Amino acid sequence: MKTVADLHTHTSACPHGHCTRQELILRAKERGLWAVGISEHTQACPDGVPMAYFEKMNNWLTESYGVRVLRGVESDISDWRGKIFMQRRYMKNLDYVIASLHRNSLWAADRLTVTSTWCGIAEDPAVDIIGHCGRDPDRFDFETDTVIRAFRDGGKTVEFNESSLGKPAHDKKCYEICEACGKYGVPVMIGSDSHYARSVGASANCIRMIETVGLPEELVINADRDRLEKWLASVKERKSTLFD
């Protein structure tokens, strides 16, 4: 298995990113990716980009150096009631929305609270991708079956990313989530969470996990261009009337 696109990347538009958009796109091209999506943080995180950044995203080239460029956001969850930090009126400029928990937006909570937060996010029609929910299980643990079933019912896609794998506690939770995605037929996305041009498209740890767990490849949205194009079209269609 290999990936054809990376929808979770950061650039120097946010202070902890260390490459330009151009470097990122050129590296994606070198790695043979069909598409790259840029997904900066919102300002629920101290070094997110201002809302004005999203206001002008509709002016981006949709293709650059032969690579399809997708406009995303990693919208921090800013409230334990399951709210993301993103103004609805800018969402029409985006190809997709990732919702993630980060310790610099919300510090930690008990298992019941995090479970209910993810169930709230599952019901938000603005959210397309659940970002790295297996990361930091010491702070953000949740009832896996309950939450993954809620993601299925809410039509969400669960992301695994390279930066969340490699530590035993994180791996254990990610593998458990991956197994649950297989059990409930929930689509998944592999992302690098790259903050440097060199790591765009990184996917080795995620692919090893998916193959070890035996998750069917048909569930991996960005392992196939046609599948990803259909997914993007379905997101667009589903959200076409949401933000008018």
Instruction: Identify which of residues 7 and 210 has a Cβ nearer to Zn ion in the complex.
Output: 7
Q: By CB under 5 A, is residue 193 in contact with Zn ion? A: yes
Among the residue ranges 50-58, 170-178, 192-200, 233-241, the one whose residues contact Zn ion (CB under 5 A): 192-200
Neighbours of 113 (CB within 10 A): 15
Among the residue ranges 14-22, 58-66, 190-198, 213-221, the one whose residues contact Zn ion (CB under 5 A): 190-198
Q: By CB under 5 A, is residue 128 in contact with Zn ion? A: no
CB of 8: closest distance to Zn ion in angstroms?
6
Q: Indicate which single residue of 40, 74, 162, 224 sits in contact with Zn ion (rule: CB under 5 A).
A: 74
CB of 242: closest distance to Zn ion in angstroms?
23
Instruction: Identify which of residues 100 and 116 has a Cβ nearer to Zn ion in the complex.
Output: 100
- Transcribe the chain into DSSP letters: ---SEE--B--TTSTT--S-HHHHHHHHHHTT-SEEEEEEE-TTSTTPPPHHHHHTGGGS-SEETTEEEEEEEEEEEEETTTEES--GGGGGG-SEEEEE--TTTS----HHHHHHHHHHHHT-TT--EE--TTS-HHHH---HHHHHHHHHHTT-EEEEEGGG-SSHHHHHHHHHHHHHHHHHT--EEEE--BSSGGGTT--HHHHHHHHHHT--GGGBGGGSHHHHHHHHHHHHHHHTTT--
CB of 25: closest distance to Zn ion in angstroms?
17
CB of 195: closest distance to Zn ion in angstroms?
8
Q: Indicate which single residue of 100, 105, 115, 157 sits in contact with Zn ion (rule: CB under 5 A).
A: 100
CB of 235: closest distance to Zn ion in angstroms?
19
Instruction: Identify which of residues 166 and 185 has a Cβ nearer to Zn ion in the complex.
Output: 166
Instruction: Identify which of residues 6 and 74 has a Cβ nearer to Zn ion in the complex.
Output: 74
Query: Which stretches of the chain bind Zn ion, using CB under 5 A?
Result: 74, 100, 193
